[in-house]
Structure 1
């Protein structure tokens, strides 16, 4: 998947090393239960994603910023439910130099477009740590609706049990979101 700003390519053990410097940025994925801070933990993270890809439950991507001409991070389709036509977009992290540049909006557009227009899924969900206000505002800006909060459902690296906000976009909401939220990206 790609447009003039970003290219999303399958993440695997042949290309993940492009992300080692970014993954080692301090507190990059503070609100995630995962650890990618060392070359070893990053490789384990990628191996888990690749295993999910072969089991058809995830599609992990390496993110290339075409404007800055550099690898920016990673994102993924996860918890793919082929029967019910539902998937999650998440596991997204991009280096600090790429944050606030509009890159994430381009990534989310491509992923939503693919989920609804190529895979013909019925719903896309986002699960976000309740404390991660920046990410919550970002998914709200792209038209996702808060559907509820799962209380203390995820154990974090430091032993904290987080509350997870559940957001969703339905297939029938996508045409309006595509036009109203992403319309300028299409021009």
Structure 2
């Protein structure tokens, strides 16, 4: 399995590696960038560890990590990935997404998600995409709902955060048979 390069007129998603992750260092210094995540990217060492963990998952065929390049601004914007890839059941998660403040609200995330959903359903021919979001993270929940994902349930106190808090996680999903309608409506301009 190789991590593909996914690209349209607005964004390029390239494989995240130990050779390119350093482009993200300035973004990781933004305050509360991944406040609702159990991950740590706050120092160069923490970011390198974050990438190494993603690459370990890549080596076991359970993760495809990406570095995000905004073609409009001609800048690296952040990171995202396919994770918890279940090849047998044809289900994966899209997440671990973070982009710098200057890219938020610019439409970049919609372009990223379009490419990722299209690849999942049309190339990999998977049956389902899941998104897991901290219940408190209203901004991310609204963004996923805007994609046409359905709230499927709440996992209570399932994730330990860095500060010791146990968060509740909202589980959202998009099914393969829902994709054609979502593509034709939500992503019509694409």
Q: TM-score, normalised by structure 1?
A: 0.98
SS of alignment partner, residue 181 of structure 2: helix
CA deviation digits over 1:46-65, x for unaligned, max 9?
Answer: 00001101110000000000
CA distance in 1, matches of 2:71, 2:55: 24
SS of alignment partner, residue 38 of structure 2: coil
CA distance in 2, matches of 1:153, 1:54: 26
**Which residue in the other structure is 2:140 paired with?**
135
How many residue pairs were aligned? 185
Q: TM-score, normalised by structure 2?
A: 0.97
**Which residue in the other structure is 1:173 paired with?**
178
CA deviation digits over 1:50-100, x for unaligned, max 9?
Answer: 110111000000000000000000000000000000000000000001000
**Which residue in the other structure is 2:26 paired with?**
21
Matched, 1:10 2:15: yes
CA distance in 1, matches of 2:23, 2:13: 13
SS of alignment partner, residue 184 of structure 1: coil
Matched, 1:74 2:79: yes
Within the candidate set 100, 120, 140, 2:125 is matched to 120
**Which residue in the other structure is 1:89 paired with?**
94
Kindly state the Cα deviation for residue 24 of structure 1 after the two structures are TM-superposed.
1.6
SS of alignment partner, residue 164 of structure 1: strand
Kindly state the Cα deviation for residue 10 of structure 1 after the two structures are TM-superposed.
0.4
SS of alignment partner, residue 141 of structure 2: helix
Matched, 1:102 2:107: yes
**Which residue in the other structure is 1:144 paired with?**
149
SS of alignment partner, residue 33 of structure 1: coil
SS of alignment partner, residue 26 of structure 2: helix
Moved over 4 A (4+): none
Q: Which runs of 5+ in 1 are unaligned?
A: none
Q: Which runs of 5+ in 2 are unaligned?
A: 1-5
**Which residue in the other structure is 1:157 paired with?**
162
Kindly state the Cα deviation for residue 26 of structure 1 after the two structures are TM-superposed.
1.3
CA deviation digits over 1:1-27, x for unaligned, max 9?
Answer: 000000000001000000000012111
CA distance in 1, matches of 2:59, 2:188: 34
